[in-house]
């Protein structure tokens, strides 16, 4: 039953295989899975695929890192102290109202065309889900647990570390799922606007040359990366939420 979760994606791939294999659609508009794999092998041999994936992965990881850390820090400050709340919460709500992707052209004007605007864009769009979820979790924290911490003569930073932050982990992980999805979306935007390498660059080149097999390949890679990030969060949930007895479904 370990691979039960892969049932859905497997059905999609099988359907794709069937549709193209039986010749129900024109192979120019929808190449078969094997054609896409062939394209992948070609690109991998030339080294283009590896370079693109490495560049994209690096952007996502760096952006995600800064986004998650910033979102978490601001959420803890805004959630823990009233001054922090006045300072940050409405600011964050305003930033949330602006789609970060709409900032892409401005970021390029302000920060240039190298890695910085791409990483900043990814960080912006990944910090928000973390902030919203973690801030909400702190506001929902049972105040008696904080009182209990006080009666155990914990110092402020100990209350934050042992009570406030651990209580946010379930919501943090929900936010992280959304953040990871956002990271890939932001990456595509960032790379299609201006990039010398990366998956988005591969995609826009493929579009220019009408290489549908490569476009499909990039989509498949995005899907696999999405699935991997999802299982990474599931792994974190198992490790970090062992204490929680949630409803597991019937």
| Site for other proteins, residues 15 to 74, rule: CB under 8 A | none
Instruction: Candidates 96, 162, 207, 211: give the one binding other proteins (CB under 8 A).
Output: 162
Nearest by Cα to 182 from 108, 131, 106, 113: 131
Binding status of residue 242 toward other proteins by CB under 8 A: yes
Binding status of residue 244 toward other proteins by CB under 8 A: yes
Q: How many residues bind other proteins (CB under 8 A)?
A: 21
Residue with tokens 């994209």: 56
Binding status of residue 245 toward other proteins by CB under 8 A: yes
Binding status of residue 114 toward other proteins by CB under 8 A: no
Binding segment for other proteins (CB under 8 A), chosen from 43-51, 142-150, 209-217, 231-239, is: 142-150
Dihedral, CA atoms, 21, 22, 24, 26, nearest 10 degrees? 40
Binding status of residue 151 toward other proteins by CB under 8 A: yes
Binding segment for other proteins (CB under 8 A), chosen from 34-42, 114-122, 147-155, 195-203, is: 147-155
Instruction: Candidates 25, 98, 147, 232: give the one binding other proteins (CB under 8 A).
Output: 147
CB of 100 to other proteins, least distance (A): 32
- Radius of gyration in angstroms for the set of CA atoms belonging to the chain, rounded to a whole number: 22
CB 61 within 8 A of CB 97: no
CB 152 within 8 A of CB 93: no
Structure tokens at 233: 């969060």
CB 197 within 8 A of CB 55: yes
């Amino acid at each position: 039953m370990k691979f039960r979760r892969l049932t859905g994606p497997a059905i999609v791939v099988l359907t794709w295989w069937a549709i193209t294999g039986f010749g129900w659609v024109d192979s120019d508009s929808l190449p078969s899975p094997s054609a896409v794999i062939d394209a992948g092998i070609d690109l991998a041999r030339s080294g283009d695929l590896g370079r693109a994936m490495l560049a994209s992965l690096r952007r996502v990881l760096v952006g995600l890192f800064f986004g998650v850390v910033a979102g978490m820090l601001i959420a803890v400050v805004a959630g823990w102290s009233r001054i922090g709340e006045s300072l940050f919460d409405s600011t964050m709500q305003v930033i949330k109202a602006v789609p970060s992707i709409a900032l892409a052209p401005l970021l390029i004007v302000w920060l240039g065309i190298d890695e910085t605007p791409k990483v900043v864009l990814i960080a912006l769009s990944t910090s928000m889900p973390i902030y919203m979820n973690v801030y909400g979790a702190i506001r929902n924290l049972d105040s008696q647990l904080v009182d209990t911490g006080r009666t155990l003569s914990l110092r402020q930073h100990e209350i934050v570390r042992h009570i406030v932050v651990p209580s946010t982990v379930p919501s943090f992980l929900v936010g992280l799922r959304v953040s990871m999805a956002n990271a890939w979306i932001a990456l595509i935007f960032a790379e299609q606007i201006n990039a010398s390498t990366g998956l988005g660059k591969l995609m826009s080149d493929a579009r220019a040359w009408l290489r549908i097999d490569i476009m499909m390949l990039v989509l498949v890679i995005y899907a696999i990366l999405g699935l991997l990030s999802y299982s990474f969060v599931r792994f974190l949930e198992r490790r970090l939420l062992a204490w929680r007895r949630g409803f597991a479904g019937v």
